[in-house]
């Protein structure tokens, strides 16, 4: 188990609310955190390597860029879960993939360059896996501003 020191906690807590857009964003963020640019980069990489963070990067709103996104579910036989997961994760449009303790045990988010691509990916996954793929497009959006303070 990796323990987080005060600097790691400060990095996680502060960078959830934004990251500078500048010619030296890591240097600018590091200055506000009271550490060097190199230390910030090293600590972020360490957090990723130790699976404290699963990703570090921007979140793009596909729908605001002319694309679309949708929540998708599949009922996957337990003995095929890894196989189907590999197929689903082979699509660059798969933004998140989660296993759930539910008859619909695989859930993922598709973020595509065009609205039409959502159904194309769903149909292709269904054809490749032989399973029903349930596309659940967003009807209404609610902003909850989730922040996980450590």
Question: Contact 73/134 with Cβ under 8 angstroms?
Answer: yes
* Whole-number pLDDT of residue 35: 98
Cα(119)–Cα(48) distance, rounded to whole angstroms?
32
Question: Contact 133/119 with Cβ under 8 angstroms?
Answer: no
* Whole-number pLDDT of residue 70: 93
* Whole-number pLDDT of residue 88: 96
Question: What is each CA distance from 28 to 42, 54, 76, 77, 121, in whole angstroms?
Answer: 15, 23, 46, 48, 39
Q: What is the pLDDT along the chain (150 residues), one digit of tens a residue?
A: 678 999 999 999 999 988 999 999 999 999 999 999 999 999 999 999 998 888 888 877 777 888 888 999 999 999 999 999 999 999 999 977 889 999 999 999 999 999 999 999 999 999 999 999 999 998 888 877 778 788
Domains and CATH numbers, the chain: 6-49 (no CATH), 62-137 (3.30.70.3460)
pTM of the model: 0.66
């Amino acid at each position: 188990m990796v323990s987080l020191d005060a600097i790691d906690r400060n990095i996680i807590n502060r960078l959830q609310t934004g990251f500078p857009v500048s010619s030296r964003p890591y240097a600018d963020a590091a200055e506000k955190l009271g550490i060097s640019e190199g230390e910030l980069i090293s600590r972020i990489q360490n957090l990723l390597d130790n699976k404290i963070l699963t990703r570090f990067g921007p979140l793009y709103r596909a729908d605001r860029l002319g694309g679309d996104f949708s929540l998708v579910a599949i009922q996957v036989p337990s003995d095929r879960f890894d196989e189907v997961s590999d197929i689903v994760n082979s699509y660059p449009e798969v933004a998140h993939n989660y296993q759930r303790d539910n008859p619909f045990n695989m859930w993922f988010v598709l973020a595509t360059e065009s609205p039409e691509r959502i159904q194309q990916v769903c149909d292709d996954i269904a054809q490749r896996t032989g399973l029903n793929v349930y596309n659940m497009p967003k009807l209404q959006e609610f902003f909850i501003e989730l922040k996980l303070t450590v």
